[in-house]
Amino acid sequence: MASDGLEARLAQPAPIPLDAELGCRPGELLALVGPSGAGKTTILRAIAGIIRPREGFIACNGEVWFDAARNLSLPPQRRRVGLVFQDYALFPHLSARANVTAALGHVARAKRDVRARELLELVHLGGLGERRPDQLSGGQRQRVALARALAREPAVLLLDEPFAAVDQVTRRKLQRELALLRRAIAAPTILVTHDLAEAAALADRMSVLHHGKTLQHGTPDEIANRPATPLVARLMDQPNVFAGTVAARDAAAGLLTLRWGETLLEARDDGRFRPGDQVAWMIGAAAIVMHRRERPSRGERENPVSGSIAELLFFGDTASVSLRVGESANAPVLTFSVSAHTARRNALTPGAAATVSLLADAIHLMPPGE
Amino acid sequence: MDWTALRLSLALALWTTLVLLPLAVLVARALAWRRFPGKGFVEALIALPLVLPPTVVGYYLLAAAGRAAPLGQLYEAAFGGPLVFTFEGLVAASLLVNLPFAVQPLQRAFEAVPEQLREAAWCSGLSRAATFARIEMPLAWPGLASAAALTFAHTLGEFGVVLMVGGSIPGETRTISIAIYDRVQAFAMGDAAAMSAVLLALSFVAVGVVYGLGQRALVRRR
């Protein structure tokens, strides 16, 4: 058991099923991601000591906060957590400054006021300390909540969907501020979010949850590009997940041949699969490269796949292309994006033929099934 | 004008309010936030005095706490005097019939305090006692004021239970509402009119306070 940072193992069959394990080192930001109802908030509440799971263990910096086996559970007051609630849970009858001061019980009375002002300055709210929560904007309230959570000098900082309740412009701004503020926060930080882009942008590591169960830990890049299972890939919003069979293996060259319907694809061999194995496989949309009509482009000889365009949608500057590989209506469909400019120059239209390359390095094989 | 009766009524209302409110805070808080078997039954029991004729409540109190009943005898053994037909007896009866007037506004007030605020207080390091004093009560205080005003006014006006349990002993159990009844029986309509006007004014102020606070709480929540 590492003595630095937070370690948690939580399990219970009901009311919200949990089977989760996570670790977060000092200075690290761990994002808990997963669909609504995956148990993300429940895990935060268990770490904070608001709820008590049936089984498990929570320790922070070597201090045991919860151990079901020993029937030990410290109350929230003794856990030194800073928790930013989803809708902030500011005390409505107190000013912003008094909200922060409320969490400064461990500081000598005479110093509380100064410290509260410093914290409000830190979150860019200097001068608004006397306002009550109903006199602040959503973004300002979130900052007060963050200042209050930091006031306790938390051993772990817990953020429950802290950007969910504000508009997009404010969200981007607050996300930038958090990224900057993180340099000053030594405590391990756990961010609950269902926004994958937010998790990828802010987190050092991610933990994917589904129905209360931890499916995979890893860096945002690992989880996005090398998901452990097809389920993780789907939860990470990967559109290109398919079934295939390993046709051949060339261990010396480090290559596998993958049979995907009628098509044979070349992929990296990571040593886990043998010829004849049924596999699931995926490819990130960024590794699907359109062939230009007029001249060859990068990786043209790599896994060329031809099909017809089933759907073309313009989203501002980009175009989302769905390419049906094969003639039948239930043939697999590859989804990827090109710039709107490229789509127009190549005269992409629904029904038109197109060829793409699937970059071999980006083809990722997984065990079949869930 | 029976000043003794007015003084007695005010004393009864004050004592009832002072004793009942702390009790009602505990009960209302538990009813607002806890789930336990038989909760609906407890809530119904507390609401009962709202619909029961005061004479029925008074009858059962007499039956339970009279000098022949075990409870009455126990009280007499402990305090050296009977409970019924005394001021203490009136306070006890008054506590019972005022339960819904004290508990219900407080329960509504505590229910309006989001549970997350208490959790946020704990996570800010506030003890349960500090959370109660600094977060819960300041947010629930309009409910407390309503409960106090309603209990006070309702006790001033209570008639049936007082008559059943207290009789009409001057200086001991003859409250202003009983005195009004007595004066009317004696055709002293002038006295009755004066006392009725005083009671009307006091009740109006109390109810005004309740509605005024309700408005303020609404404005604040917006």
Please report residues of B whose CB lies closer than 8 A to that of A47: none
Closest-CA residue to B31 (of B122, B97, B111, B99): B111
How many angstroms separate the Cα of A369 from the Cα of each of A74, A213, A268?
41, 17, 21
Residue B84: is its pLDDT beyond 90?
no
Taking residues A219-229, report their average pLDDT.
93
Angle at A32 between CA A30 and CA A38, to 5 degrees: 165
Please tell me if residue B185 touches chain A, with a CB cutoff of 8 Å.
no
Record: contact B134-A102, CB cut-off 8 A:
yes
Most confident of A98-112, A172-186, A298-312, B202-216: A98-112
Q: What three-state secondary structure class fits A159?
A: strand
Contact present, B5 and B194 (Cβ < 8 Å) = no
- What mean pLDDT is reported for chain B? 89
Q: Which helix (H) or strand (E) holds B74?
A: helix B70-79
pLDDT at A175: 92
Nearest Cα residue in chain B from A153: B124
pLDDT at A295: 62
Report the alpha-carbon distance of residue B218 to residue B214 in Å, rounded: 6
Please report residues of B whose CB lies closer than 8 A to that of A87: 116
Please report residues of B whose CB lies closer than 8 A to that of A103: 124-125
How many angstroms separate the Cα of A81 from the Cα of each of A59, A176, B63, B151?
12, 23, 57, 42
Token pair in block for residue A201: 């942008």
Nearest by CB to B124, from A92, A93, A148: name it: A148
Please report residues of B whose CB lies closer than 8 A to that of A152: 123-125
- What mean pLDDT is reported for chain A? 91
- Strands A263-268 and A63-67, bridge-based pairing: unpaired
Contact present, A18 and A53 (Cβ < 8 Å) = yes
Best of A85, A86, A90, A91 to substitute, by most chain B Cβ atoms within 10 angstroms, is A91
pTM for the whole thing?
Answer: 0.85
Q: What percent of chain B has pLDDT over 90?
A: 54
Contacts for B47-52 with beta carbons within 8 Å, 24 or more apart?
B47/B100, B47/B104, B48/B100, B49/B96, B49/B97, B49/B98, B49/B99, B49/B100, B50/B100
Record: contact B135-A91, CB cut-off 8 A:
yes
Residue B222: is its pLDDT beyond 60?
no
Neighbours of B82 (CB within 10 A): 16
Neighbouring residues of B63: CB distance < 8 A, sequence distance ≥ 6: B69
Report the alpha-carbon distance of residue A194 to residue A355 in Å, rounded: 34
Q: How far does B13 lie from chain A, in Å, by closest CA?
A: 31
B/e letters for A267-292, b = 16+ CB within 10 Å, e = fewer, are bebeeebeeebebbbbbbbebbbbbe
Record: contact A49-B122, CB cut-off 8 A:
yes
Q: How far does A173 lie from chain B, in Å, by closest CA?
A: 25
pLDDT at B152: 92
Taking residues A119-131, report their average pLDDT.
93
pLDDT at A298: 57
Q: What is the pLDDT of residues A31-71, one digit of tens each?
A: 999 988 889 999 999 999 999 999 999 999 999 999 999 99
pLDDT at A369: 79
Contact present, A39 and A11 (Cβ < 8 Å) = no
Q: What percent of chain B has pLDDT over 70?
A: 97
Residue A1: is its pLDDT beyond 70?
no
Record: contact A50-B123, CB cut-off 8 A:
yes
Report the alpha-carbon distance of residue B50 to residue B100 in Å, rounded: 7
Q: What percent of chain A has pLDDT over 70?
A: 97
Question: What's the distance, Cα to Cα, between the start and end of chain A in Å?
Answer: 31
Contact present, A150 and A122 (Cβ < 8 Å) = yes
Token pair in block for residue B203: 């009740």
Indicate the DSSP class of residue A307.
Answer: E
Taking residues A11-21, report their average pLDDT.
90
Q: What percent of chain A has pLDDT over 90?
A: 76
Dihedrals φ, ψ of A17, to 5°? -60, 140
Please tell me if residue B77 touches chain A, with a CB cutoff of 8 Å.
no
Taking residues A120-139, report their average pLDDT.
93
pLDDT at A2: 47
Record: contact B138-A93, CB cut-off 8 A:
yes
Dihedrals φ, ψ of A283, to 5°? -140, 135
Please name the amino acid found at residue A101: T
Name the pLDDT band for A275 (thresholds 50, 70, 90): very high
Please tell me if residue B109 touches chain A, with a CB cutoff of 8 Å.
no
Best of A45, A73, A74, A85 to substitute, by most chain B Cβ atoms within 10 angstroms, is A85
Record: contact A106-B116, CB cut-off 8 A:
no
Q: What is the pLDDT of residues A328-353, one digit of tens each?
A: 878 899 999 999 998 888 888 999 88
Please report residues of A whose CB lies closer than 8 A to that of B126: 77, 102, 105
